[in-house]
Amino acid sequence: MPSFLLYGIRKSSLSEAKVSAESMLGFFFAERDSFYQAGIYYDFGAGGEEQFVLKKNIDPFDGDPVEQDFASFPILFYINSTDRPSELIALMTNIENFELLRQEVF
């Protein structure tokens, strides 16, 4: 069953967080720009498959945090539809300032 992980990142720079994640995970994110994602964000993978999304914790419609329960984290890192959560959690523990906030299985 696919797992969905959410990390909070205490770095204030989205580009710094991107570099940290890329070096640990071994791939490069594509830069995107979308009003729905509150401007510049980064992703890797496709919907319906394992996907990684790095974005600001800002709701573009009201300016509040997208993840209200984790408002103290300026940047969010979503890992969606992964079949290897244990492996990714182990890798992510090596990245400074990345904190696992939620793990869900659907």
So what's the pLDDT on residue 106? 82
Domain assignment present for 39: yes
Flag whether pLDDT at 47 surpasses 80: no
Give the residue numbers spanning the domain of 16: 3-91
- Can you tell me the distance from the alpha carbon of 63 to that of 14, in angstroms, rounded to the nearest whole number? 17
Q: For position 60, what pLDDT does the model report? A: 93
pLDDT in tens, 6-46: 999 988 799 999 999 999 999 999 999 999 999 999 999 97
> Distance (Å, rounded) from C-alpha 96 to C-alpha 71?
19
- Say if 101 falls within a structural domain: no
Our count of domains for the chain comes to 1
How distant, in Å, are the alpha carbons of 5, 49, 68 from that of 57?
Answer: 15, 23, 9
97 located within any domain: no
pTM, full prediction = 0.94
pLDDT in tens, 54-85: 999 999 999 999 999 999 999 999 999 999 99
